[in-house]
Amino acid sequence: MRRDGFGDEHELFRSQVRRFVEREVAPKIAEWNARGTSDRETWRRAGEEGFLGVNAPEAYGGAGTDFRYSAIVMEELARARAHGMMVSLHSDICMPYLASFGSEEQKQKWLPGAIRGETLLGICMTEPGTGSDLANVQTRAIRDGDHYVLNGAKTFISNGQIGDLFVVVAKTDPAADPPHKGISLILVEADTPGFVRGRKLDKLGLRGQDTSEIFFQDCRVPASNLLGKEGQGFRMLMEKLQQERLCIAVSSVASCQRALDDTVAYVKERRAFGQPIAGFQNTQFKLAELATEVEVGQAFVDRLIGAHVRGDDVVKEVSMAKWWTTDLQKRLTADCLQLHGGYGFMLEYPIAMDYADAAVQSIYAGTNEIMKVIIARRMGLG
């Protein structure tokens, strides 16, 4: 079925991205998963091909398109299971902070390199002591003359080893009441003295992602690295979380489709009791139900993409999509693994990694419980 909101020009772009992913990304995935990180050369190539910062302003080297093109890049990477290369984090989660809130000087300095795939981006929100409760971050950025001095610890930071520039959530006014008013966003380059990369964390899934600890130890950055105004950090984060969560929903549905397609192919091949297991009614009903849910999820996500491109406030609906599609992804990968029998438990079968990779989708970018808190609040409850 043709998708609403995606025309010929989008499909042309999709075929270009797919060709690039098949030729230059897919062959590297096994190595990334083994090493626990992607490689800079592939990022640079993606930049060269124009697949990074597709929404970023043309004045800085971006393609100036809309979020539909970002969604296509995410979908094609999810289709290839290229989770090590989190283009959405770089292009659609971190880059918009610079593009929307950066000063002209900041944009000139960092956007062109980010779009070329030379300056890789990350965001440091989560700390060992707090994730969901963002207003409670303990990392401090205290003004000292023309500088901020950062101290604190962050964890679970994607692109933590490979990243060059990080948006850091820190308290510039630790005494602020309410606490979220003391939060600011500071840009920190990874080669700044006092920026310390910690362990690359060993994870259940997303094996190709270098999720890491980051420490700030008397890390001095120029005051001009402040993004927007002091005390506005929380507001900026809230503004950008709609897109971050939509990215997760987009990739979730694409990952579901891939796992489903592979499972349909598998059950046609695998035989039991003298027939392909596709012949059992249980297999047919299970896959028919899952295929229906993927269509429902895709229709909802496509509607939200359209609304997001128009600039609508769809925080409530995006929160719905984020929890529902990621929940679907977890159920779907579990059911598809079951249909693979023992082979589903073997890592040589992609469904095993799909199952492991799905687990995090309901956790990051705001847990699914937090999504329901937001929905309930917007319904006027609590």
Ligand X SMILES: Cc1cc2nc3c(=O)[nH]c(=O)nc-3n(C[C@H](O)[C@H](O)[C@H](O)COP(=O)(O)OP(=O)(O)OC[C@H]3O[C@@H](n4cnc5c(N)ncnc54)[C@H](O)[C@@H]3O)c2cc1C
Point out which residues bind ligand X (CB under 6 A).
Answer: 122-126, 130-132, 156-158, 203, 206, 211, 360, 363-364, 366-367, 369-370, 373
Nearest to 343 by CA among 256, 261, 271: 271
* CB crowding 287-304: b at 16 or more within 10 Å, else e: beebbebbeebbebbbeb
- In the complex, least distance from residue 7 CB atom to ligand X, rounded to whole angstroms: 33
- In the complex, least distance from residue 68 CB atom to ligand X, rounded to whole angstroms: 24
Residue closer to ligand X, measured from CB, 67 or 156: 156
CA distances from 153 to 126, 139, 190, 195 (A): 9, 6, 14, 10
Tokens for 39, please give them: 């490689």
Residue closer to ligand X, measured from CB, 153 or 363: 363
- In the complex, least distance from residue 247 CB atom to ligand X, rounded to whole angstroms: 12
Residue nearest to ligand X (CB): 131
Residue closer to ligand X, measured from CB, 161 or 225: 161
Tokens for 38, please give them: 């992607």
- In the complex, least distance from residue 106 CB atom to ligand X, rounded to whole angstroms: 20
Residue closer to ligand X, measured from CB, 65 or 362: 362
Catalytic residues: 244
Terminal Cα-to-Cα distance of the chain (whole angstroms)? 40
What would the DSSP string read from start to end of 73-121?
HHHHHHHTT-TTS-HIIIIIIIHHHHHHH--HHHHHHHHHHHHHTSS-E
Taken in order 131, 134, 135, 139, the sign of the CA dihedral is: positive
The 3-state DSSP class for residue 197 equals strand
Q: 38 near 59, Cβ under 8 Å?
A: no
The 3-state DSSP class for residue 310 equals helix
DSSP secondary structure letter of residue 55: T
Residue 254 exposure: Cα atoms within 13 Å on the Cβ side: 20
- In the complex, least distance from residue 183 CB atom to ligand X, rounded to whole angstroms: 13
Residue closer to ligand X, measured from CB, 16 or 367: 367
Q: 53 near 59, Cβ under 8 Å?
A: no
Residue closer to ligand X, measured from CB, 153 or 299: 153
- In the complex, least distance from residue 154 CB atom to ligand X, rounded to whole angstroms: 7
As a whole number of angstroms, the distance between CA 78 and CA 13 comes to: 16
